[in-house]
A and B are shown apart, each in its own frame.
Chain A
Amino acid sequence: MNIFKYFGEVFGAIRSLWAGMRVTGYYSIRPGKVVTQKYPENRKTLVIADRFKGEVIMTHDSNNQHTCNGCGICEMNCPNGSIEIISNKITNAEGKSERIIDKHIYHLSMCTFCGLCIKTCPSGSIKWGHDFEHAVFDRNKLTKVLNQPGSSIRKEIKEVKETKEA
């Protein structure tokens, strides 16, 4: 083995090792760039990204109305059966038979957060919530009813859909 090559390797190694140590040394003297946060204390100022998948929620407006017509597409698309929809058939003012949801049941304990239900919902009535503190002492508390008690369906779904397409 060539002696110059040997010493070249040694000095090359020292140089590359020093390059690595310079990077970590640079980070170690900059505590201002700390990326971790003190979690329970910073609950007030916590910033959660919009794309964060915490849990499935149903949006309600100020009149306690949602847009879910109980079509059941989310229930069919769910790969692990986390969603159950219990719907009722009622007769509306015009004398037509109509389907409304009684309970939109969501099993958080089974959800894998794939997002297929939200992607396929035709009326856009369910979406991702940003709540992430889901720990409970009772497993049954993980089964949630998404529509609020006493809520009703908002009628202008069709118009909203049409304007969106136009």
Chain B
Amino acid sequence: MYDFTSFTTWVHNALYSSMSPGWAMLIELAIVGIIFIAFYAVIGLYLVYAERKVCALIQNRKGPNRVGPLGLFQTIADLFKLLGKELIKIKNADQFLFNLAPFIVIIASFMAIAALPFAKGLHAIDLNIGIFYLFAVSSLGVIGILLAGWSSNSKYSLIGAIRSGAQVVSYELSVGLALLSVVIFSGSMQLSTIVESQANGWWIIKGHIPAIISFLIFLVASTAETNRGPFDLAEAESELTAGFHTEYSGIKFAFFFLAEYMNMFIVAAIASTVFLGGWMPFHLPGLDGMNHVMDYIPGFVWFLGKTAFIIFIMMWFKWTFPRLRIDQLLKLEWKYLLPLNLMNIVLIAFIVLMGWYIK
């Protein structure tokens, strides 16, 4: 496995030896920022494309196929269209909060990708409380959604925002508890340590039944947390026109749209990091030849592949199930997911205590 630490330390030393430490740090920050902005834009746009294609496949349609080969440039054209649109000024809206809200949403998702380990040694910051940080930052987005709904001076926006608040506050618990199961297994909150602990097998395999239960709970709860279908009550096209972003137009709307898809990428990346081994290649004990071939595939390919797999599952059930009602949504969380999750945590603690997982 290629270790990116050598590359990053080389860049670091080259910068620090050629200029003053202050400038070197500034340039490092700028490089990381530019890389992440480019990554953000590309991933956000192509997830929109992927969603439209997956939806088309499920509904026996062709999907976007006009702009570029296989319609690959469709979403880029959409972005330019949105850039050219007028930013409509809403009467009696709280202008400051109205303009601030999309930035809060997009910054919240931007902060989360900083902590993701893309490959060995390839992450912006490796906090020793990585999971805690991700969990905290990903719940910041709801503030932006609430502000957007409140400041728009529209009943649809307000209803959407309140729904989103109720939904995110309750599903946060399940996401946290599901991630806690892997923290118990690996004994660490640092994402790099969690990935290293899966070198001899992913947690979903090593942790067998309880890990699979918490993986499924994580999938459901994180889909709800990102306001995606079938839990998209916050935007609910058929009831609330577009929920909290009804009044937004042009590039501000595009920010919400991009942030939604980026949040999906982030939760899929978290799921693949903690449950499916992150950038760790797939190894089977005893088959040294195959394990050796697997090692040649670079880490970020493994990481992005697993993330894409989970994103596909999330799209798959978005286009399968109808939207839940708000009472069904809260019942699902408080009556089923949370009690099951708590029981599962106790079970995992017992299993780890007795050493009944695959070591």
Residues of A within 8 A of B (CB): 9-10, 13, 17, 20-21, 23-25, 27-31, 33-36, 38
With A20-B321, A21-B317 as contacts: A28 and B57 at CB distance below 8 Å = yes
With A10-B336, A36-B62 as contacts: A27 and B321 at CB distance below 8 Å = no
Task: Output the residue of A20, A24, A35 with the most chain B CB within 10 A.
Answer: A24
CB distance from B74 to the nearest CB of A (A): 15
B61 and A24 contact, CB distance less than 8 A: no
A24 vs B321: C-alpha distance when bound (angstroms): 10
19 CB < 8 A contacts A-B: A9-B336, A20-B320, A20-B321, A21-B316, A21-B317, A21-B320, A23-B320, A24-B58, A24-B319, A27-B58, A28-B54, A28-B57, A28-B58, A30-B60, A31-B57, A33-B60, A34-B60, A35-B60, A38-B65
Residues of A within 8 A of B319 (CB): 24
Q: Closest residue of chain B to A31, judged by CB?
A: B57
Residues of A within 8 A of B61 (CB): 34-36
A10 vs B217: C-alpha distance when bound (angstroms): 12
Residues of B within 8 A of A34 (CB): 60-62
A20 vs B316: C-alpha distance when bound (angstroms): 10
With A10-B336, A10-B340, A17-B321 as contacts: A24 and B316 at CB distance below 8 Å = yes
- Majority secondary structure, A binding face: helix
Interface residues of B in 321-351 (CB under 8 A from A): 321, 336, 340
A129 vs B320: C-alpha distance when bound (angstroms): 39
Residues of B within 8 A of A25 (CB): 316
Q: Closest residue of chain B to A37, judged by CB?
A: B62
Let me know if B8 is at the binding interface, CB within 8 A: no
With A10-B340, A21-B320 as contacts: A27 and B57 at CB distance below 8 Å = yes
CB distance from A123 to the nearest CB of B (A): 44
With A20-B321, A38-B65 as contacts: A27 and B60 at CB distance below 8 Å = yes
Residues of B within 8 A of A20 (CB): 320-321
CB distance from A71 to the nearest CB of B (A): 47
Q: Closest residue of chain A to B319, judged by CB?
A: A24
Residues of B within 8 A of A24 (CB): 58, 316, 319-320
Residues of A within 8 A of B193 (CB): none
Other 18 A-B pairs with CB < 8 A, given A35-B60, A36-B62? A13-B336, A17-B317, A17-B321, A20-B321, A21-B317, A21-B320, A23-B320, A24-B58, A24-B319, A24-B320, A25-B316, A27-B57, A27-B59, A28-B58, A28-B316, A31-B57, A36-B60, A38-B65
